[in-house]
């Protein structure tokens, strides 16, 4: 096919011996996009007008704030990846509450009979 440089755009038509090379003005994303648009326009394809891209702005944060946010996201990911986990401190707190509040509320323990 004769491609010696990359990236390259080639239009291959069925039944045609030689492919058609699309030559962008410059080898940037915009250059390749314009070359494709020009080729499609020459073939009679009507393309919608391109909307300019809106680049989101990053809020002006200092480095310590960015590090704190990154650390919080990392901790949240670690907690989510752990799934359903019961921590020993939670079990101890539940047992302590049960022994000091729920059991003394009953005068008779039915399970001891």
pLDDT tens for residues 26-70?
A: 888 888 888 888 888 888 988 888 888 887 776 676 888 888 889
Is the whole model's pTM more than 0.85, yes or no?
no
In whole angstroms, give the CA distance from residue 26 to residue 45. 23
Nearest CA to 50 out of 68, 37, 32 is that of 37
Nearest CA to 17 out of 2, 36, 7 is that of 2
- Contact at 8 Å (CB) between 25 and 34? yes
């Amino acid at each position: 096919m004769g491609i010696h440089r990359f990236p390259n755009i080639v239009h291959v038509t069925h039944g045609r011996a030689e492919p058609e090379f699309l030559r962008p003005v410059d080898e940037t994303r915009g250059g390749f996009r314009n070359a494709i648009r020009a080729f499609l326009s020459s073939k009679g394809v009507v393309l919608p007008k391109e909307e300019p891209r809106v680049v989101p702005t990053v809020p002006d944060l200092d480095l310590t704030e960015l590090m704190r946010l990154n650390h919080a996201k990392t901790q949240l990911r670690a907690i989510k990846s752990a799934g359903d986990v019961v921590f020993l401190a939670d079990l101890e707190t539940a047992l302590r509450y049960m022994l000091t509040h729920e059991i003394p509320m009953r005068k008779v323990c039915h399970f001891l009979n």
